[in-house]
Amino acid sequence: MQVEAVSKDSLKGAIIKISTPESIASSEALSQEAEEAAADRANLYSSLGALFAAPASAEHLAVLKNLPEIQQPESDLEMAWSLLRRAASDYTPEQIDDEYHQLFIGLGRGVVVPYGSWHLTGFLMEKPLGALRADLRKLGIERSAGVAESEDHIASLCQAMAAIIVADEIDFDTERAFFSEHIASWSDDFFRLLDEASCAGFYRAVGNLGKSFTDVEKQYLSMSV
């Protein structure tokens, strides 16, 4: 399968609800709940991948503003989702474009580095990227031609997780190992720095959603199935 390493996918498939681990474990229709949870998770990973890949356009903001609430009352994830929907109304595409470039690109380097190798080693293009590329090859996931960013960009990893979740040939243990080694190992640091960045507004909301979702993922992927 091919994953476009930091392409901007449509947000129209974005998540509407999250099936929690508790609801899956207690449901009589286990397989149906698991399938719904997988679709939810893949959609949210795809949406985060699109938002981190490039500045959100007016079309994407319109989609965000009109999406329903996540059905997980009084949770951090629900609050983060609501704040992102509000941010989609509070910021213009021009403001978001400026913010994105300040945060992630800058002159030489942005305020927050979106690459896993940097957070794990302090340098770009280091051993964690080589390990990631080896794992992606084993999973049959290819980087699209013509993409400048390396595969350890947060957007690429979100898109890779979406592909892994929906791939019938990839088992749960492999999915869990990929998340643990290539996302959970550094994403908390990335989201913390994004939250602390003085120039972050819209992308602080995106980062809060990412942090809340990866916290849910840690719980979900720690389950025995």
The CATH number for 51's domain is 1.10.3480.10
- pLDDT for the residue 65: 87
Is 191 within the bounds of a domain?
yes
- pLDDT for the residue 224: 56
Tokens of 101: 């470039």
Is 171 within the bounds of a domain?
yes
Inter-residue contact 6 to 156 (CB < 8 Å): yes
Is 141 within the bounds of a domain?
yes
- pLDDT for the residue 72: 67
Residue 72, CA distances (Å) to 20, 45, 214 in order = 8, 17, 15
- pLDDT for the residue 13: 38
pLDDT string in tens for the chain (225-residue length): 434 433 334 343 333 333 334 433 444 444 777 788 888 899 999 999 999 999 999 998 998 888 777 766 668 998 999 999 999 999 999 999 999 999 999 877 899 999 999 999 999 989 999 999 999 999 998 877 777 789 999 999 999 999 999 998 999 999 999 999 999 999 999 999 999 999 999 999 999 999 999 999 999 898 755
Is 24 within the bounds of a domain?
no
- pLDDT for the residue 101: 96
- Residue 3: φ, ψ to 5°: -115, 130
- pLDDT for the residue 19: 36
- pLDDT for the residue 1: 44
Rounded CA gap, 153 and 217, in Å? 19
Is 14 within the bounds of a domain?
no
- Report the sign of the C-alpha dihedral through residues 53, 54, 55, 58, in that order: negative
- pLDDT for the residue 7: 36
Task: Tell me which DSSP letter residue 143 carries.
Answer: E
Contacts of 117 (CB under 8 A, 6+ apart): 123, 124, 125, 126, 127, 128, 129, 150, 152
- Report the sign of the C-alpha dihedral through residues 101, 102, 103, 108, in that order: positive
The total domain count for the chain is 1
Is 4 within the bounds of a domain?
no
Is 58 within the bounds of a domain?
yes
Is 21 within the bounds of a domain?
no
For 76, the domain range is: 29-63+71-221
